[in-house]
A and B are shown apart, each in its own frame.
Chain A
Amino acid sequence: QKEVEQDPGPLSVPEGAIVSLNCTYSNSAFQYFMWYRQYSRKGPELLMYTYSSGNKEDGRFTAQVDKSSKYISLFIRDSQPSDSATYLCASSPGGGGTSYGKLTFGQGTILTVHP
């Protein structure tokens, strides 16, 4: 079993829809949770970063972490064609030591927002 599982999709939605992207993880030591966006033939770019459980909102994007169920979510409101990309969730234990900063990624979900 992979430490971070993510449905690869693909997911296709109409412009303006609310998009829900999800991951589950198995490592209880994970404390930091991130969402990266990767456009075709580009490196991933950090979208959202959260520590432990809770919600974090940034514009049209909301990240949620539920540590009790080991579930990570990203919601995109009023989706736009420019949001079309691969979305990768990632986790790390943080807290110093050799694992600090070492990210474990999900497989990535391919999202297409059509006009």
Chain B
Amino acid sequence: DIQMTQSPSSLSASVGDRVTITCRASQSINTYLNWYQQKPGKAPKLLIYAASSLQSGVPSRFSGSGSGTDFTLTISSLQPEDFATYYCQQSHSDPTFGQGTRLEIK
């Protein structure tokens, strides 16, 4: 299994802040890395695929970068609707997810 480790596990931020979440794979996954947003009681929503490609309909304040083992998700200016839990997921082999990062309002 490829293990995915996100940091931080939680963070507090304010509307308008720039936020970065990191995800590290236990071995190289090239750019087979996706990011999802999940709000309470809802299914996850795809934000970024292939490490840096923005899914259709997702606001441009979301961006992703990285390759190999280290990846980041950046939200350039937090909006009220962005407070949620974020998961990374590798699709290089049997899919595995990070443990999640809970983004809370400061």
- Do the two chains bind? no
